[in-house]
Amino acid sequence: MAEVNVQSVPLKQTDEQIISPWREAWRTLRKNKLALVGMGIIVFFVLVAILAPLLAPYPYDVGDLKMKNQPPSEEHWFGTDYNGRDVLSRVIYGARISLWVGTFAVIGSVVVGTILGLLSGYYGRWVDTLISRIFDIMLAFPSILLAIAIVAILGPSLQNALLAIAVINIPTFGRLVRSRVLSLKEEEFVMAARAIGMKDSRILLQHILPNSMAPIIVTGTLGIATAIIEAAALGFLGLGAQAPEPEWGKMLSDSRQYIQKAPWTVIFPGLSIMLTVLGFNLIGDGLRDALDPRMKN
Amino acid sequence: MSQPVLHIENLQTHFFTDRGQIPAVDGVSIKVHKGEVVGIVGESGCGKSVTSLSIMKLVPNPPGKIVGGTIRFKGEDLVTASEKRMREIRGNEIAMIFQEPMTSLNPVFTIGDQIGEAVRIHTKASKKESRQRAIEMLKKVGIPRAEAIVDEYPHQLSGGMRQRVMIAMAMACNPELLIADEPTTALDVTIQAQILDLMRQLNRDADTAVLLITHDLGVVAQMCHRVVVMYAGKVIEEGDVRTILKEPKHPYTIGLLNSLPKLEESQERLYSIPGNVPIPGSLTTGCRFAPRCEQAVDRCRQEMPELVAVGENHRSRCWLSV
């Protein structure tokens, strides 16, 4: 009897693949319909952005002034704006700008925020005091106001808007990582790692950082949505993208005087902002459910 | 006798808090010889864990700090050793096993990665060699299907298996001293026995000295050659395991033994020592156990007794046993 049992155990186990925590999260994510919708939206916009030159029927920066503020038609699916430019082409090229700004601004804040968070959480004392107080000061300002101030100093341009958005979001990630470090530092596996003679720097990078990835990824994904809105806001205020760049926020502000005469000039860029932001938020929520161990069943 | 592997003398580890300086370990001296299993016994909060962390110099600082004494490991004083030297020693010459196997492994890495890590830190082993070593160690600690388990993640293993993995990790570099801080407290009784068997076997095979921290006198009886009983940061009795279990001298040790359930006689109620371990820092003059001691006399409340010999290899810190 006993022998039969012993033999049957390995057989059963070899069928089953070893599941890494990431693969398990991916499995959960795949079952989440809303997250899949979000991914669909984002994949769509990414493809549009990549293939913009092929998809756009007209150039985004040159219009026919005789054709200005035309309603959607067969030639111009989304109509034309006050300069006679094709709104569809501009929205397509705009996807490039928004995704680029959103992604890189978040990457910038994640990288800087993570480094600062790791340092302040692990070393504590004056390092922590210094970094945390800087975060506090930055968080004391409404973020958009801080962004406006930064752009005002550097001069309005898309790059500077990206930089400003990256800077104002650093404290969000810094604090997140710091709090993860503070709790992970007390975990026994960190003590165990020290007990086998591991260096601080290696403990930080090999044990604490990988265990902090889940919340960073979730907040990062949601952060892209926020960054896109902030970029649009700066563009709307004339502090981000400059004419003729087809930034969605900029398109909204340029066309707002024609909102009654040519509503399509604001509806389509607005809709695009809404959809991208929705897409990232859906993915972010899905990731949170997939990566949070307490939600697992 | 030859030089002990570990010789702690008059160790003082204090915690500096807002309420003042708290002497968690107050003048502890312990010797561990090669191949010997020494048990440190005591209630929670008596300083056993702080003693073990002091040896590894892993007492969280701040607030903890070793303020006095020496910890000689093969003649080398660890108290004054540099952090760099300590990193060489940790895991390589002195290894440690913790109480909670469920949280002592990093959830995002495979078992093999984590055992291999310990090997790679201290030797120039390649990834492949350290993986091989990990498999070898897993077999040694009695894990079935070691080749498969090596690629699994901690959450796929049970508590007993994880503790085996922790032992494999600790023993991977053939340490000369293994510190086990309540290695079986978090495990089922049946698993406890297996883990203790395993530790005893490793102790015999590799002649590794073991410092076993526990509050379980049953574990002590099974495992240890010598026992050190601690109370409120001080050693109050030490001796051979037989002597301590058969003829304890200190009322605290007697109390601990009396509070064990006995099979041969039926008891209405388990004995328990009245009162609690004093809050460290609130100490007064006299014997620290005096407030809870049923036999305390006036002298006990005024003068702290010394740790004196009361028999062969048997010392006790009590006025009554002198």
Q: pLDDT tens for residues B166-207?
A: 888 888 888 889 998 888 877 778 878 888 888 888 888 888
Q: Which residue of B has its CA nearest to A14?
A: B148
Indicate whether B76 and B189 sit together in one domain: yes
Q: Which residues of B touch A13 (CB under 8 A)?
A: 145, 148
Q: Which residues of B touch A188 (CB under 8 A)?
A: 98-100, 103-104
Nearest to A189 among B96, B106, B155 (CB): B106
Q: Is the pLDDT of residue A175 over 90?
A: yes
Interface test with A, best of B104, B153, B181 (most A CBs within 10 A): B104
pLDDT reported for residue A18: 62
- Distance between CA A187 and CA B111 in Å, rounded? 17
**B83: closest CA of chain A, how far (Å):** 10
pLDDT reported for residue B45: 75
Cβ contact, residue pair B90, A197, below 8 Å? yes
Mean of per-residue pLDDT scores for chain B = 84
Indicate whether B82 and B214 sit together in one domain: yes
Indicate whether B77 and B203 sit together in one domain: yes
Cβ contact, residue pair B107, A211, below 8 Å? yes
Indicate whether B281 and B223 sit together in one domain: yes
For the sheet containing B6-17, what is the strand order?
Answer: B20-32, B6-17, B64-73, B76-77
Indicate whether B41 and B82 sit together in one domain: yes
Cβ contact, residue pair A197, B166, below 8 Å? no
Cβ contact, residue pair B117, A198, below 8 Å? yes
Cβ contact, residue pair B58, A195, below 8 Å? yes
Residue B173 CA, distance from chain mean position? 20
Question: Among residues B121, B152, B174, which one ends one of the domains?
Answer: B174
- Distance between CA B191 and CA B68 in Å, rounded? 39
Nearest to B153 among A20, A194, A211 (CB): A20
Q: Domain limits at B148?
A: 106-174
Q: Is the pLDDT of residue A237 over 70?
A: yes
State residue A116 phi and psi, 5-degree precision.
-65, -40
pLDDT reported for residue A11: 40
Question: Among residues B125, B142, B174, which one ends one of the domains?
Answer: B174
Weakly modelled stretches of chain B, pLDDT under 70 = 1, 267, 280-284, 322
- Distance between CA B34 and CA B186 in Å, rounded? 28
Of A68-82, A248-262, A271-285, B276-290, the poorest mean pLDDT is in B276-290
- Distance between CA A289 and CA A292 in Å, rounded? 6
Angle between helices A87-123 and A248-255 in degrees, nearest 10:
130
State residue B39 phi and psi, 5-degree precision.
-100, 140
What is the residue-wise DSSP string for B217-262? HHHHHHH-SEEEEEETTEEEEEEEHHHHHHS--SHHHHHHHHTS--
Q: Is the pLDDT of residue A177 over 80?
A: yes
> How many other β-carbons are positioned within 10 Å of the β-carbon of residue A127?
14
3-class state of residue A17 by DSSP: coil
Mean pLDDT of A206-231: 88
Residue B207 resides in a domain: yes
**B94: closest CA of chain A, how far (Å):** 9
Q: Which long-range contacts (CB under 8 A, 24 or more apart) does B84-89 make?
A: B86/A197, B86/B56, B86/B57, B87/A197, B87/A198, B87/A199, B88/A197, B88/B122, B89/A197
Cβ contact, residue pair A192, B108, below 8 Å? no
pLDDT tier, A83 (very low <50, low <70, confident <90, very high otherwise): confident
CATH number for position B89: 3.40.50.300
pLDDT reported for residue A12: 41
Q: Which residue of B has its CA nearest to A13?
A: B148
Indicate whether B129 and B161 sit together in one domain: yes
Nearest to B106 among A20, A199, A207 (CB): A207
Six token digits for residue B145: 């299907």
Q: Chain A within 8 Å of B122 (Cβ-Cβ)?
A: yes
Q: Which residues of A touch B156 (CB under 8 A)?
A: 18-19
CATH number for the domain formed by residue range(s) A82-295: 1.10.3720.10
Six token digits for residue A15: 């069928």
Nearest to B152 among A18, A188, A196 (CB): A18
**Domain range annotation of chain A:** 82-295
**B56: closest CA of chain A, how far (Å):** 7
Q: Which residues of A touch B56 (CB under 8 A)?
A: 195
User: C-alpha angle with apex A188: A184 to A189, nearest 5 degrees?
Assistant: 80
Q: Chain B within 8 Å of A67 (Cβ-Cβ)?
A: no
| ipTM value for the complex | 0.78
Radius of gyration of chain B (CA): 20
User: C-alpha angle with apex A54: A49 to A55, nearest 5 degrees?
Assistant: 65
Q: Chain A within 8 Å of B100 (Cβ-Cβ)?
A: yes
The single residue listed with the structure tokens 């902002």 is A273
Indicate whether B132 and B267 sit together in one domain: no
Burial B172-198 (b: 16+ CB within 10 A, else e): bbebbbbbbbbbbebbeeebbebbbeb
Angle between helices A209-236 and A158-185 in degrees, nearest 10:
150
Six token digits for residue B275: 């009162």
pLDDT reported for residue B126: 84
Cβ contact, residue pair A195, B122, below 8 Å? no
The single residue listed with the structure tokens 């340092």 is A119
Q: Is the pLDDT of residue A231 over 60?
A: yes
Indicate whether B179 and B53 sit together in one domain: yes
- Distance between CA A45 and CA A55 in Å, rounded? 12
Q: Which residues of A touch B110 (CB under 8 A)?
A: 18
**B173: closest CA of chain A, how far (Å):** 9
Number of domain units in chain B = 2
Of B239, B237, B178, the closest CA to residue B207 belongs to B178
Which residue did the predictor score with more confidence, A173 or A82? A173
- Write the DSSP symbol of residue B101: T
Give pLDDT tens digits for B278-293. 776 666 677 888 888 8
Which residue did the predictor score with more confidence, A11 or B52? B52
Question: Among residues B174, B198, B214, which one ends one of the domains?
Answer: B174
Q: Chain A within 8 Å of B91 (Cβ-Cβ)?
A: yes
Nearest to A195 among B56, B106, B109 (CB): B56
Handedness of CA A72, A77, A78, A82 (dihedral sign): negative
Mean of per-residue pLDDT scores for chain A = 85
Give pLDDT tens digits for A129-162. 999 999 999 999 888 898 999 999 998 888 899 9
Indicate whether B78 and B143 sit together in one domain: no
pLDDT reported for residue A115: 93
Indicate whether B283 and B206 sit together in one domain: yes
Indicate whether B114 and B185 sit together in one domain: no
pLDDT tier, A17 (very low <50, low <70, confident <90, very high otherwise): low
Q: Chain A within 8 Å of B106 (Cβ-Cβ)?
A: yes
Six token digits for residue B68: 């006095």
Query: Which residues pair with residue B7 across a beta bridge?
Result: B31, B72
Cβ contact, residue pair B153, A194, below 8 Å? no
Helix ranges (H only) for chain B are 48-56, 83-89, 111-122, 127-140, 146-149, 159-171, 189-206, 217-223, 241-246, 251-258, 298-302
Q: Chain A within 8 Å of B61 (Cβ-Cβ)?
A: no
Indicate whether B155 and B268 sit together in one domain: no
Q: Which residues of B touch A199 (CB under 8 A)?
A: 87
- Distance between CA A126 and CA A120 in Å, rounded? 8
